Each structure stands twice: as C-alpha cells, then as structure tokens.
Amino acid sequence: MAPNTRARRSASFVGLWLLLTLIWFAASSSLAIESIITGAAIAAVLAHLFVRRFPAWTDVRLSPERLIPFFRYTGVFLVEMVRANLNMLRYVYAPRIDINPGIVEVRTRLKTPVGRLALASSIALTPGSLVVGLEGDTLTVHWLDVKTTDAEEATRLIVGPFETELEKAFG
Amino acid sequence: MSEVAGSILVLIGAFFHFSAGLGMLRMPDAFTRMQAGTKASTLGNALILIGIAFYHPGWSLKLLILIYFVFMTNPVSSHALARAARAIRIPMAGPPPQALASAPAAARDGA
C-alpha cells in the first residue's frame, strides 16, 4: 500500500471515529466514564471495519471548505423537499390524477461514489423524481411528470439544484 | 404554548402520512406509488419528530439523529425497491393512461 493511501486511510478513520463517538454521546447523553469508554471502543471498531470495507469513504474529506457547501446543500435540499411534498399533495388530492410518468436518463458531473450516493438520495426526495438505477455517471430516473425527453434539459431540471453544492462538498 | 406548537407539528406530520397513504391507493402503478410513499412519509416523519422535540426538549439531539437516520435510509430503501421493480419489468402506467397489465386478466377471470 502506498504511504499516501495509508495516511489518507488513517485520516478518514480518525474522522469517522470522532463522528461516531459524537453520535454516541448524543444518543447516550451520559458522561459516565464506562459509557464514554464503551462508546469510543465501539466507534473505533465500526470506523475500522467501515474504512477497510468501504474504500469510497476515504474520498470524503472533512474540512471547512467542504463543510460550508455541505450546509448550503442541506438548505437547498430542505427547500426542495418541502416543494416536493406540496407538489405531491397537489397530485394526491386532485380529483383526477394528472400525471405523465416516464423514465429518463441523466448524467452527473460528480466523480466520487459518496457524492453520487448523496445525489441519488436527494433526487428520491425531490419533486416528482425517483432514481431507479445508477451506473457510472448515468442515473436512470423515474419522472412523475415528464416535461422533456432531451437528456441535457432533463439533467438541468432534475440534477441542477444539487450538483453545484455537492460537487464542492464531495467532488 | 410550546406544547401547542408541538401538537400542531405532529398533526401536520400525521396529515402528510395520511396523504402518503392516500397517494399509495390512488396512484396508478408501482413506481408512482413509491414516489408518493417516499416523499410524503419522509417529511411527515421529520415533522412528527420535531413536534415531539417540543414536548421533550431533552430529547432534541436524539430526535435530530433519528431525523438524519430517516433521511438517509428512506431514499436508499425506495431506490432498492424501484430498482427491483424495474429489474423484473413491472409494467409502468404511461402516457396515455393505460390499464395495468393485471386488470384485463382479472376481468377475464371474473367473466
């Protein structure tokens, strides 16, 4: 293993370990010494297994330049999700369900697996679209109301809101 | 006062859950049903958990973790379902609205 890969692995191990320990603190809400030791040990084992088994995690770097876009992405995501729900209510309570469903393919610029995972999950929660397949940089999307079959235009409409921020956050 | 706000949030969340259920009943095919189920139930869950946080401020952190957990797992499960549905070629209601593949069979059996 190249030293550089190893350094990155230990960095992402430490990051994940701290994150999991924090979640443990929040969930146990106890500062007893036994609780802290148990939590830290469990978090260490989980982080170790995860970094070994899921190399994609090592692409995620925790730094301020990446956290700020991540928070902005969270904001965009929440707005889109509320819009998606109001949209869905309109369909559900309409006297006649007026939809035009179909499957379109869109491409993403995101390179890392974690970024693509985040994008696919975001699409599932946003207005009228659901990812049914993800292969390489092509997402197959089920669209509730197909407005266009043109790949470029569909990409702009479905992926557009998230891609910029996710690209900065995950690459 | 904060309990009233919490109750209102829980009520709105329940309304979204109800809409998700109604959507599952009214939508024409598997994919559109999944869409109705995923979206409305995710927001409904989040609203109910936030509403509970008004009642029990001490649970806020735990509830926040729960909300993140639902947000991360709900799309993944719906993605898995949709992928499976596509892999076994479940018929899709398309434009123009067409009957589901099972409907004629049922009619035939009934005749």
A11-62 pLDDT tens trace: 777 878 888 888 888 777 777 788 888 888 888 888 888 877 776 666 666 6
Measured CA to CA, the distance from residue B83 to residue A98 in angstroms comes to 24
pLDDT for the residue numbered A116: 78
Overall average pLDDT of the A90-95 stretch: 79
Beta bridge pairs of residue A100 = A145
Task: Check pLDDT > 50 for residue B107.
Answer: no
| Residues in chain A whose Cβ is within 8 Å of chain B | 23, 26-27, 29, 81-82, 84-85, 88-89, 91-93, 97, 99-103, 120-122, 124-125, 128-134, 140, 142, 144, 146
Measured CA angle at B108 (ends B105, B109), to 5 deg: 90
Overall average pLDDT of the B21-40 stretch: 82
Q: How many helices (H) and strands (E) does chain B have?
A: 4, 0
**Cβ–Cβ gap B23/A133 under 8 Å:** no
B31 to chain A, closest Cα gap in Å: 7
Confidence band of A102 (pLDDT split at 50, 70, 90) = confident
User: Average pLDDT of chain A?
Assistant: 76
Q: Identify the closest residue of chain A to B89 by CA–CA distance.
A: A132
Q: Which of A50-54, A65-69, B30-34, B65-69 has the lowest mean pLDDT?
A: A65-69
Confidence band of B93 (pLDDT split at 50, 70, 90) = low
pLDDT for the residue numbered B14: 92
Paired sense of beta strands A102-107 and A129-135, if any: unpaired
pLDDT for the residue numbered B103: 39
In terms of pTM, does the model score above 0.95? no
Measured CA angle at A60 (ends A59, A63), to 5 deg: 130
Task: Give DSSP secondary structure letters for B74-110.
Answer: HHHHHHHHHHHHHHTT-----SSP---THHHHHHHHH
Contacts of A79 by beta carbon, 8 Å cutoff, 6+ apart: none
Measured CA to CA, the distance from residue A79 to residue A162 in angstroms comes to 11
Q: Identify the closest residue of chain B to A131 by CA–CA distance.
A: B79
Overall average pLDDT of the A118-135 stretch: 77
